[in-house]
Amino acid sequence: MCGGVVLGMVRAMTQGTKHDKKSEGSVKDTVISMVISLAMALIAKIYVVEAFVIPTGSMAPTLLGQHMAFRSPETGYSWTVNPWYYSGQAPLSPQGVVRAGGVREFPIVSDPMTLSAVFGERIPANNMYPTGLNLDPREPVALRAGDRILVQKYLYFISSPKRWDVVVFKNPEQSRENYIKRLIGLPNEQVWLVDGDVFVRERPANVDPGSSNDPGEDSEWSIARKPDLVQRELWRTVFSSEYTPLSPLDRRTGRRFFTTPWSGDGWETADRRVFRTDRAERTELVWDHENWPVTDWEAYNDQRRGAGDVSMGRSSGVKPVYPVSDVRVRAGVLPERADIRVEATVEARGHVFQGVLENGRAVVRMREQGSDGAWTDLASGSAPGFRAGRVTNVEFWHVDQSLHLWVDGRRVVEGSYSWGPKERLLHSTGRHGSDYSSMNALSPVSLYERSKPRISWSFEGSAVELHRVGLDRDVWYQPTPYYDPPQTNTPGFGTHPWNLATMGPDHFFVLGDNSPSSRDARMWTGVDRDVAQQIDDTRGVVHRNLMLGKAFYVYFPAPRSMGRIPIPDFGTMRWIR
């Protein structure tokens, strides 16, 4: 009996000892795993990937800094706007600005799809306020945080940066600040921004890094074309028919606030989201370029405070608004018969550019404007044919001096034309490339009259319906001057033949996607003292040693709010192109 009890106690003690040892091992393994995980996380943060928050709108709408989000109740379109004015007492809602007489003035925001005000009430002009005034918003708009992004650190120690990468770097003017821009110019290159596009050439052997006023011959230059994924990221929607308001009349006044920019003889387009013609003979659908000129205006920068300096409901503010002829037209084509001929046409720069689809063939071509002569075919090839009663999605691109036709998301033909920067200026402005005296620092909008695009569709052979009829424009890099004294009104870096952007063997040239509102390499006027002493004193460039890495993913977009609870907007998580 006693022996059995003792034996049982020994067994219990033995089992307990084994269990304790197992527990100790489990705890030890857990602690080791946590330490390793923490170490790996720290290593990843220091050497591999780091998170950053976008503070401003210089890369909008590709990447958003602090902003306000709007959605039109008339069209259903959603867009973002740069923050206005905020007080310390209520930092989450715009407070307006106090004007003469203690009147608080708020900006007016326009729906990009209708050009009508959706936020704020403007009072008519009077003696005190000649341009009118917005006294009070209809409702407060909360300030939303910027996008949170992931950056591959030290990637460029392994592989060289590529043109069009979105890069994070130390600001050469203030080395404690992190900046994010798009990489445009590479080492040992010269960059010249001409009519909104990027031209590059190899740096001449006798030219030092910095600036140069000798553009040389056109044959030395080539246009920098964007990869497809980058180009699709940079398209800016001017209008798309699915956002036609359900009612074009203001509910309060009964006045019409919207007229479609597309029209044509025999077409039903007014107040419709689906356009239709019953004609089988050739008919045209034409863009209203007078009331809806295609410009580099950014909805993100909409901050107008009255009716002054407004073009078609859009304000240029202190920045000029330039015409943009790099555009994409798109539509879902639903013919009654399969043997339909479809043409998309862009007229600009003294030329006509056209894409044609007919009988399983695709052609892109061009000719001089006003000429009845033969077309110059830039490229041709086979394409999927249209089917009666079936929607075929068609896109025609005129961008970076190239023409593309896409059918159902597949490019079927691509062609290009090779103008140098001087020839481009001649066609865009009517001025010879050597006539630089006419290109002052401000590069007036009137200089680019020939760049205003005229856009149309034509159809022949069948009645047809069009769905999702859209017009998009490319990013347009403005010829912005320096603003800091004593260089006020001096041509910005890379924007003028008198001030070409010239890179050395370790230099990069960067620009913001929101070109009208980006302080980037065009306007940098100095170099941080520490950077100048320890790295490089060349103005307007980013040295290789200031590069932090490549931005590649938005992992936490600006959260939406539900009361006081922030809700992550997982639907806008995205790769950065």
pLDDT, tens digit, for every residue of 145-172?
899 999 998 778 888 899 999 999 999 9
pLDDT at residue 109, as a whole number? 77
User: Are residues 112 and 33 in contact, defined by beta-carbon separation less than 8 angstroms?
Assistant: no
276 confidence band (pLDDT: 50, 70, 90): very high
Per-residue model confidence (pLDDT) at position 94:
61
Q: Angle at the Cα of 233 (from 78 to 310), degrees rounded to 5? A: 50
All residues at 6 or more sequence positions from 21 whose CB lies less than 8 Å from its CB, including other chains? none
Question: Does 59 score more than 80 pLDDT?
Answer: yes
| CB-facing half-sphere around the CA of 452: CA atoms within 13 A | 14
Residue 214 has pLDDT above 70, yes or no: yes
139 vs 362, higher pLDDT? 362
At residue 427, what are phi and psi to the nearest 5 degrees? -75, -30
The SS3 assignment for 237 reads strand
Residue 234 has a pLDDT of 97
Q: What is the helix (H) or strand (E) element at residue 529, kind and residue range?
A: helix 529-534
Instruction: Please give the single-letter amino acid code of residue 20.
Output: D
C-alpha span between 404 and 363 (Å, rounded): 9
**Can you tell me which residue has the tokens 């918003």?**
137
Give the per-residue pLDDT at 131: 44
Three-class DSSP category at 241: helix
- Give SS3 for 460: strand
Residues 289-305, mean pLDDT to the nearest whole number? 84
pLDDT of residue 555: 92
* Mean pLDDT rounded to a whole number for the chain: 83
For residues 526-550, give the mean pLDDT: 95
Q: Which residues contact 6 (CB under 8 A, 6 or more apart)?
A: none
Higher per-residue confidence, 307 vs 50 = 50
Residue 400 near residue 223 (C-beta atoms within 8 A):
yes
* 541: three-class secondary structure by DSSP: coil
As beta bridge partners, residue 509 has 185
> Using an 8 Å Cβ cutoff, are 530 and 174 in contact?
no
Cβ of 329: how many Cβ atoms within 10 Å? Answer: 22
How many beta carbons lie within 10 A of that of residue 437, not counting itself?
Answer: 7
What distance in Å separates the CA atoms of residue 54 and residue 43, rounded to the nearest whole number? 23
Q: How confident is the model at residue 38 (pLDDT cuts 50, 70, 90)?
A: low
The token pair at 362 is 């695709």
Whether pLDDT at 548 is above 90: yes
- The pLDDT of residue 102 is above 90: no
Q: Which two tokens stand for residue 222?
A: 């080539």
Residues 60 and 180: beta-carbon distance below 8 Å: no
Q: What does the pLDDT average to over 188-212?
A: 92
pLDDT, position 473: 98
Q: Are 325 and 346 in contact (CB under 8 A)?
A: yes
CB atoms within 10 A of CB 117: 18
Question: Which band of pLDDT confidence, cut at 50, 70 and 90, is reported for residue 100?
Answer: low
> How large is the average pLDDT for residues 388-400?
98
* Residues 398-405, mean pLDDT to the nearest whole number: 98
Calculate what percentage of the chain has a pLDDT beyond 90: 57
Q: In terms of pLDDT, which residue wins out, 136 or 431? A: 431
Tell me: pLDDT of 136 over 70.
Answer: no
What number is the average pLDDT over the span 103-114? 74
- Coil, strand or helix: which one is 438? helix
Check whether 482 has a pLDDT greater than 60. yes
Upstream peptide bond of 130 is cis (omega within 30 degrees of 0): no
Q: What pLDDT does residue 497 have?
A: 87
pLDDT value of position 48: 73
pLDDT band of residue 2 (cuts 50, 70, 90) is: very low
pLDDT of residue 93: 58
Greater model confidence, 417 or 319: 417
107 pLDDT more than 90 = no
- Confidence class for position 89, pLDDT limits 50, 70, 90: very low
Amino acid at 527: V
Q: Which range, 36-40, 125-129, 143-147, 475-479, has the best average confidence (pLDDT)?
A: 475-479
Greater pLDDT, 463 or 42: 463
Of 145, 144, 132, 73, nearest in space to 106 by CA:
132
Per-residue pLDDT for 271 more than 60? yes
Q: How many CB atoms lie within 10 A of CB 416?
A: 15
Determine the average pLDDT of the residues in 61-80.
90
For position 25, what pLDDT does the model report? 59
CB 276 within 8 A of CB 466: yes
Cα 245 to Cα 118, 133, 267, 469, 554, distances in angstroms: 12, 26, 18, 14, 31
Q: Which residue has the higher pLDDT, 146 or 334?
A: 334
Q: Is the pLDDT of residue 480 over 70?
A: yes
- 455 close to 287: Cβ distance less than 8 angstroms: yes
Angstrom CA distances, 151 to 66, 344, 510, 545, stand at 19, 40, 17, 16
For residue 307, is pLDDT > 60? Answer: no
